[in-house]
Amino acid sequence: MNCFDYRRVLLAEARETEAMAAHRSQCAVCGALFSEHAAFERELRRGLEVPIPPGFGERLIGAAGVRARAAPGRADRRRFLAAAAAAIAAAGVGLYVWRDRNDPLAMACIEFVMKEEAKSIMMGAMPRAEAARVLAESLPLERLEQIGQIKHIGPCPFNGATAYHVVVAVPQDKVTLLIMPDARVAARRRALHDGLHASVIPLRKGSVGIIAANPAVVDSIAGALRG
């Protein structure tokens, strides 16, 4: 076990093996990384304990291609559950799409989450007013807040330019967004690596990478942001 392998496995799987623990006991750098990562995970778990955002069910149903009436009741709950199941089933049937070929830009998004996300969060967030200004032409904050609760947003170096790192809490998962105002893609790009799924989609200005462990969540958010 070396420092590179320790960092890669810890950030990908959020746990230690016996070999990793033995390495950490002899390595001050990895020991500090473990402490920082554990603190970050505790804060993230607390942050994810949030209520379901208003209207999230309707947006998920729309992303899954299922139309439901707005009237509340047991039938609507059944339709919501059916839509969620359909999204998950579609992700399972279409898994070959994720495995077909890893796009380099989407892979870079996954690498960011594995290696740089914790550091980016610890650098601190930018003021909301500034974030609203710089993202107005790419992905307005109001649209992000329709997806879930924003837990972090801040600039970060990515792929040779400045991107905006966003962590969003949704009921099913923690989702990372990398908004790239200066990187335009013509079509959707995908990657799957170490249990993380990434999808890069075009925006009005630039593009956004969506990274999460659950492919159905990635697909739903991609559909919502493109709609």
Tell me, yes or no, whether 82 and 119 share the same domain: no
Domain match, 145 and 185 both: yes
| The pLDDT value given to residue 167 | 94
- What average pLDDT values come out for the chain (227 residues) when binned by 10 residues? 74 76 86 78 60 59 52 48 49 50 92 91 91 94 90 94 94 89 92 92 95 91 84
Instruction: Please check whether residues 39 and 23 belong to one and the same domain.
Output: yes
DSSP string, 63-129: HTT----S--SHHHHHHHHHHHHHHHHHHHHTHHHHHH---HHHHHHHHHHHHTHHHHHHT-PPPHH
The predicted structure's pLDDT at residue 68: 43
Residues 131 and 204 in one domain: yes
Q: Is residue 35 part of a domain?
A: yes
Tell me the residue range of the domain where 32 lies: 3-48
Rounded Cα distance between 61 and 7, Å, is 38
- Kindly report the CATH number assigned to the domain that includes residue 126: 3.40.1000
Q: Structural domain tally of the chain?
A: 3
| C-alpha–C-alpha distance, residues 83 and 68, integer Å | 9
Tell me, yes or no, whether 38 and 125 share the same domain: no
Q: pTM for this one?
A: 0.61
Contact of 87 with 59, CB cutoff 8 Å: no
Residues 21 and 124 in one domain: no
97 lies in some domain: no
| Residue 155 lies inside a defined structural domain of this protein | yes
pLDDT at 161: 94
Q: Are residues 153 and 86 in the same domain?
A: no
